[in-house]
Amino acid sequence: MRIRSLLLPAVLGSLAFAGSSAAADVTTKPIYTFGTLRTNASDVARAKVKVWLESVSKYDAKAFDAIWADESRPVFDRTIDALLLGSTEAKAALDAARDQFAPAPTEIPGFLKDPATDGFLKANLATAYAKALGGKRVYEEALEALKTVTPELVVDPSQYFFYRAVAEHSLIMKDEALTSIARLIDDVADAPDRYKLVATLIYFDMQNWSSDRKDLGNIGRLMDNSGRRLDLARGGKQTQDIQKKIVFALDEKIKEMENQAKGKCNGGSCPNGGQPGQGGSNTPSSPQSDSYGGGNGGAGKVDEKKLRKFSEEWGKMPPAERAKAIQEISKDLPPKFKPMIEDYFKSLNKINGITP
């Protein structure tokens, strides 16, 4: 079963009511390709980069050939290094994004905002830029950069959709993250297993997100987002607005709990639109239509071969193979998702009676 069959009804419903801010996002109307996207072959990517370098008179054959000679490196990494030969501005921006000690940027580089920038250059460097910022938990600018480009122009589209989903999930943008996950799993034929596994776990995580703003899980996510922004020295209006939402939601929750304790929700009106007898709970009173996404979230079922393979073979795999599997899947992932991966494998160990 394609993951889109689970996600698309809810996503389309939300996009139908998208606000004016979507106008700046060149990827607002996704082109679903159903497994036809894949990483460019090395010679194809190399040729594209060479054409661009020659168009800006920055082609250095010796430096260019040296980058592409190392076939052990991913095509995407070699593409980025070769593109940087032709843009000092892009190199400076990417170096700063990769520097863990450099301050978080407050806006994306000018070349990513310039409509005159070559589309191939912009798409690939924006993806590399967002990937670097994701490692620093700078999700706002990471997402803004990705929104400026066409993902089909990225030599490794799996990286674009994965890091976009990471940013959207971290910024509590559920519907947008579901769209990115659907495109990663369904549209990119050669997406790495570690990306698909983490994306699937993100998907299941979001199914537990309540539509009730007073839900403690939702409040906790707002608190995490506020704390992240403060860690990045971003204590301005946006952070203050998040903190106001936290205070307001907590105040509503406290009032709701007080009313429940006093029995005011039995036969009387509950605060903030709650129905008598429900106490503000998120329990549905009738079955939900299959055509719409629900706030309660269901268990869902994803035909993810890697997950099934691990579940079936984990107990039979030698310790060295299990360690290798964990290492491969955790490689290059943003730090926030590593505990999620660890919990997944701990569960497999427990099920199979394996003592680490």
Give the other-Cβ count within 10 Å of 225's Cβ: 21
Which residue carries 């040296």 as its tokens? Answer: 66
191/195 Cα distance (integer angstroms)? 7
**DSSP annotation of 185:** I
8 Å CB contact between 96 and 110:
no
Element containing residue 175 per DSSP (H, E): helix 174-182
Which residues is 37 bridged to in the sheet? 188
Strand partners, 188: 37
Amino acid type, 16: A
Residue 297, Ramachandran bin (φ over 0: left; ψ between -120 and 50: alpha; else beta): left
* Run of H or E including 201: helix 193-207
Give burial (CB, 10 Å; 0-12/13-18/19+) of 185: buried
The pTM assigned to this predicted structure is: 0.68
**And the tokens for 189?**
């034929």
Q: How far apart are CA 180 and CA 322, in angstroms?
A: 29
Q: Are 77 and 193 in contact (CB under 8 A)?
A: no
In this structure, the number of other CB atoms found within 10 A of the CB of residue 64 comes to 19
In angstroms, the CA 218 to CA 204 distance is 15
| Token pair 């680490």: residue | 356
The pLDDT of residue 74 is 96
Q: What does DSSP assign to residue 183? A: I
Confidence (pLDDT) at 324: 79
| Rounded CA separation 5/115 (Å) | 35
Distance of CA 24 to the CA centre of its chain: 19
Q: Which run of H or E residues covers position 234?
A: none
d(CA 96, CA 347): 38
By C-alpha distance, which of 22, 53, 340 is closest to 198? 340
- The interaxial angle of helices 119-134 and 42-55, nearest 10 deg, is 110
Spatial CB neighbours of 162, under 8 Å, sequence gap ≥ 6: 180, 184, 191, 195, 198, 199
| Composition of the chain by helix, strand, coil, percent to 5 | 65, 0, 35
**CA dist., res. 170 & res. 341, Å (int):** 16
Any idea which residue has 């069959």 for tokens? 5
pLDDT, averaged per 10 consecutive residues of the chain (356 residues), comes to 51 37 52 75 97 96 96 96 96 94 90 94 96 93 94 96 95 94 93 91 90 84 85 84 84 77 57 44 41 38 52 76 75 66 67 65
